[in-house]
Amino acid sequence: MSALEHKRALLVGVGGLGSPAAIVLARAGVGVIGVADDDTVDPSNLHRQILFDDRDVGQSKVDVAATEILRWAADAGNTRTRVVTHRTRLLPQNARDIVRGYDVVLEGSDNFATKFMTADACAIEGVAVVHGSAVRWHGTALAVGPAGRPCYRCLFEDVPREHSPNCAEAGVMGPVVGVVAALQADLALRSLRGDEVGGELVTFDGLTDAHRRRRIASRTDCPLCGARSIQSIDPSRYAAQSCDAIA
């Protein structure tokens, strides 16, 4: 019996990052895989969101993802894997309730508001989280342990107050997203197996095929894991950008 059979992982978004990561988790034998997304499959998704194909256009992403995750799990002999569907994005009113049911969260959203809200909810609930992002040729994956220190805010501090282009606006290369998703899944699986991955940051440059792995330092004045002034999910904290896009 695999030790992962009793573990629970949540995908925040089953888009360009969540789709390949879901396949890795399923084939690795993670017992429960949660998927949170409120979107439907669009033709523009298909070059990077590899859980879907032309037949799925217009259908709910979480419904299609659930079927495909179980298929990939069964193909690897993991017949006990279950999928829990959350037909919603993470929002201030549900973020803590959703993440607290999991051992690790893989965050693959396409806007800073959701990224920071996921970071805050996981830190408050004591849940490990692996953040991922990819824009143009560059991607990053950051692991945060269940103790929540160092955290996403140690590196990025706060939601940008000026507009920052997301992958839909700036463009993203499908293979780069796939590499970042693999890095996320690796960090998440190591976390589930008990490895100390908190603070591990991996960056990938798709133009040079180079990646760099290092540990980030915590900040004593970090409002989330240092000063700990963030103890609740206040909607006004994420109002600079809407929480409505998933990569």
Active site residues: 167
Which residues lie below 8 Å from residue 133, measured CB to CB, with a gap of 6+? Answer: 17, 115, 139, 140, 180, 247
Nearest to 204 by CA among 7, 40, 17: 17
Q: Where are the alpha helices (DSSP H) in 161-232?
A: 167-170, 174-192
End-to-end Cα distance, the chain: 34
Q: Dig out the tokens for 236 from the structure.
A: 């006004």
Candidates 31, 42, 205, 21; CA nearest to 109 is 21
Check whether the bond before 20 is cis (ω within 30° of 0).
no
Q: Are 15 and 174 in contact (CB under 8 A)?
A: no
H-assigned helices in the chain: 18-28, 61-75, 95-99, 112-125, 152-156, 167-170, 174-192
Strands, E, within the chain: which ranges?
A: 8-12, 32-36, 82-86, 104-107, 128-135, 138-144, 200-205, 210-215
Backbone angles phi, psi at 205, to 5 degrees: -110, 110
CB 172 within 8 A of CB 136: yes
